[in-house]
Structure 1
Amino acid sequence: MRRHHRSRVLAATAAACALSLALAGCSGTTKSDSKDDAKDKTQNTKADPDAPLKKGLKIAFLPKQINNPYFTVVDKAGIKAAEEFDGKAKEVGPSDAKASSQVSYINTLVQQRQDAILLAANDPNAVCGPLKQAMKQDVKIVSFDSDAGKDCRHVFINQAGSDELARKMVKDMAEQIDHKGQFAILSATQNATNQNTWIKIMKDELKKPAYKDMKLVKTAYGDDVDQKSFQETQGLLKAYPKLKGVISPTTVGLAAAARYVSGSSYKGKVVLGGLGTPNQMRKYIKDGTVEKFLLWDAEKLGYLGSYAAAALSSGQITGKEGEKFKAGNLGEYTVRADGEVILGPPTVFDKKNIDDFDF
């Protein structure tokens, strides 16, 4: 009887421990967790720049939304790049850019034991927790385009220096409206990291004496949805009859704004600028709706992201400042402060070079 009683006690104890572990695993981050808890393993790992890239790496691209032409270009290039190091890459994601839309995909990719996830964050607050859990499962996290936050990923692939890009958008607008008058910003979602970073820098740039006669009257949000961005453009122009220009630091927004202006009485009167893709903006450049816009090589962004994920998964880098890795035919890159890797300077697209690009 004692032996059976002892067995029951041991069994009950084991069950209680199992339940405790299960609850702990589902509870997420607690107050006792350190800020960089998910990175503990990385911080104690030393990078080996001479380590070969592992074969058969499983990499997943998770864009803000899968029906966005810009992200389609980025992700396809990254998927193709993975073939160069015998990796297997894919694209998955939501059809909308809502804050929590990416969470279920992150959880599923972890269950599928992906080696790395490359994510453009819709809302850092929504994805940070799941990403930290993924990192604890030794999944390498690379954010691109819109950062998930330095504590929620290993590396951030920044398409261009944020400061340079934001100030350039303001300068280009100022030149086209003679540094005078009202203008507005047509952004994506209210919580997009990259959008908010650029807007903050734009406002700082506007404090300079050169822009004393310019006024930012409103920041509107089209949520990276074509029709909503179209309607927001229409609303801005009706609400502010003296509006001279609109800066849209999102490719969906700029294309939608151009579509509205090109078929209205505002064509030739209201200046449009910001970020766009050549294929989306070509007809608006050629018909005079838009004089110029900015972007980086979207294909190179995906290509670099894929190699960064491979370098992390192979132990060549851990995300610490000063580490270096080779990104195929793009050459060597250095990890900067807070795990940032910058693709390079932005490109200005206009009538002279628009036909030199196909993306």
Structure 2
Amino acid sequence: MTTAAAAFALSVWGAGANAASKWDGGDDLPTSPLECGTGAAAATAPVKYDGGQPTNPPNNAGKEITIVDVPKLIGIGYFNATSKGIQDAAKELGNVKAKTDGPTEAKIDEQIKFIDNYITSGVDGILFAANDPVAIAPVLKKALSKGIHVVGYDANSTPDAREWFVNQAQFNGIGKAMIDSMAKESGEDASFAIVTSTFTTPNQARWIAEMQAYAAKCHPKLQWLETVEAQEDNNLSFNQATTLINKYGDKLKGLFGMTSVATPASAEAVSKAGLCGKVAIVGLATPNAMKPYVHNDCVKSVVLWNPIDLGYAATYVLRAAVDGKLKPGDASVEGGKLGKLNVINGSEVLLGPPFIFTKDNIDKFDF
């Protein structure tokens, strides 16, 4: 956050979470907050397909294909889990050879280089999770122009730069789950801060925008203090959370972690500060990383989906696109053991609703 942005955030503190025109880290796209409580969103009209298409792709229907998965970065639990799902699907399908490769830091320039190298070396399909939706678009369009099938998951690009995007959960569903959990744990008028990766990371920007819209509608007394960037770095996430704790003192009643790195790091910062039970941590993370904090009652709610299923679904979607079994205008696609997956928002395939891990269920999961 810039000094000016921080000053602005402080100036509106105490006037409610939605006094600012936009929480830092949120995007400017339209929002669609769900109904309060257990309500659901009103039905919306179908959206026309808005994805891109490969140019003169080879007819590989039913044939063995080689695909590469280039996530935001490699070496963290979350993308280890999506990679496992990709391998599980490839083995199950029997005609897909898949590998995961990418940068060790969440840097868009490095991610672009990896994708470009695989375009040159030759693959039939590319899976990706974007570090930046706009910056990644040209190299993905280059892949499409070479007849390579392109499917995103976890973090989208601009729609015309890929065929399909597998959405782990609708953004407004994540926003609702996060805000409801915070209000339940810290109180309707609690003040909170957000630890995200970067302000341009597409999925986190969408979640934050939807969180703000839902808070304005259903929990208007919640007070947003500040959003800070921590990349996908554990040490920086811990330090940023610690800075927020020290900066706001007793005013801080909750921390949102927007990444699988930021959430356990924020929980560790709260633990080290001796504030478990006084500062609520709500965030997105893998269950294994959060089990110690859930079991010692420092964290009550972990919001996520199954990233193994996400990688699995993305592989099935890419295979279906290659085989001509998923075409623009289709309403659903077969997702192997996941069953039928619905197409939403024109060119997105929905994995399902978010899942909340708690002390009662978190030991049932191992990823």
Q: Shared fold by TM > 0.5?
A: yes
Show the 5 A alignment for 1:242-281: 242-281=251-290
In 1, distance between residues paired with 2:135 and 2:291?
A: 35
Q: Which residue is equivalent to 1:350?
A: 358
* Greater Cα shift, 211-220 or 339-348: 211-220
Match of 1:325 in 2: 333
Tell me the residue number matched to 2:295.
Answer: 286
Tell me, what secondary structure is at the counterpart of 2:288?
A: helix
| 1:57 partner amino acid | I
Q: Distance in 1 between matches of 2:278 and 2:161?
A: 44
Q: Which amino acid aligns with 1:216?
A: W
Are 2:212 and 1:203 equivalent residues in the alignment?
Answer: yes
Q: Is 1:177 equivalent to 2:175 in the alignment?
A: no
Structure 1 runs of 4+ off > 3 angstroms?
36-42
Conserved in 2, the CA contact under 8 Å of 1:296 and 1:347?
yes
Per-residue CA deviation, residues 204-255 of structure 1 (Å, 9 max, x unaligned), is 11212x4232210101111111111001100111111110001112111001
Q: In the superposition, relative to structure 1, how do residues 246 and 321 fare at CA in structure 2: closer, same or farther (>3 Å)?
A: farther
Task: Kindly provide the CA deviation profile for residues 252-281 of structure 1, in whole angstroms up to 9, marking residues without a partner as x.
Answer: 100111112122222221000011111000
Partners of 2:221 and 2:245 lie apart in 1 by 19
Report the residue type matching 1:259 in the other structure. E
Q: Deviation per CA, 1:3-24, whole angstroms, max 9, x where unpaired?
A: xxxxxxxxxxxxxxxxxxxxxx
Could you tell me which residue of structure 1 aligns to residue 243 of structure 2? 235
Structure-to-structure mapping, 1:153-232, within 5 angstroms: 153-208=162-217, 210-232=218-240
Taking the aligned partners of 1:303 and 1:323, their CA distance within structure 2 comes to 19
Given that 2:51 and 2:162 are in contact with CA atoms closer than 8 Å, whether structure 1 keeps it comes out as no
Give the deviation of 1:77 after TM superposition: 1.4
Specify the alignment match of 1:12 in structure 2. Answer: none
1:111 to 120, 143, 147: 120
Deviations 1:281-321 (A, max 9, x none): 00100011101111101111111011111111122123x23
Provide the rounded CA distance (Å) in 1 between the counterparts of 2:186 and 2:77: 30
TM-score, normalising length: structure 2: 0.82
**1:325 CA displacement:** 2.5
**What is the CA-CA distance between 1:40 and the residue it aligns to?**
7.4
1:144 corresponds in structure 2 to 153
The answer as to 2:82 corresponding to 1:74 is yes
Correspondent of 2:102 among 69, 78, 93:
93
SS in 2 for 1:100: helix
Amino acid aligned to 2:289: Q
* One-letter amino acid matched to 1:93: G
Structure 1 residues not aligned, in runs of 5+: 1-35, 46-50
Could you give the per-residue CA deviations for residues 95-154 of structure 1, whole angstroms, max 9, x where no partner exists? 010221211111111122211111000011221001001001111111110001211110
TM-score normalized with structure 1 length:
0.84
Where in structure 2 are the equivalents of 1:34-53 lying within 5 Å?
Answer: 39=53, 41=55
For structure 2, the residue ranges without an aligned partner over 5 or more in a row are 1-49
Q: How does 1:54-69 map to 2 (within 5 A)?
A: 54-69=62-77
Give aligned-pair identity as a percent. Answer: 34
Distance between the aligned counterparts of 1:321 and 1:254, measured in 2? 38
Q: Is the 8 A contact 1:150 1:338 kept in 2?
A: no
Give 1 or 2 for the bigger CA radius of gyration. 1
Trace 1:119-138 onto structure 2 (pairs within 5 A).
119-138=128-147
Per-residue deviation, residues 164-192 of structure 1 (Å, max 9, x unmatched): 11121011101111211210111112211
- Residue 37 of structure 1: how far off its partner (Å): 10
Q: State the alpha-carbon separation in 2 of the partners of residues 53 and 83 from structure 1.
A: 17
Matched, 1:84 2:98: no
Counterpart code for 1:321: G
Give the Cα–Cα distance (whole angstroms) in 1 for the partners of residues 86 and 220 of structure 2. Answer: 43
Secondary structure of 2:166's aligned partner: strand
Contact 1:322 1:336 in 2 (8 A): no
Q: 1:303 to 1:40 in 2, by over 3 A?
A: closer
Match of 1:310, SS? helix
* CA distance in structure 2 between the partners assigned to 1:291 and 1:334 by the alignment: 31
Aligned-residue offset at 1:194: 0.2
**Larger relative helix fraction:** 1
User: CA contact under 8 A between 1:55 and 1:85: conserved in structure 2?
Assistant: no
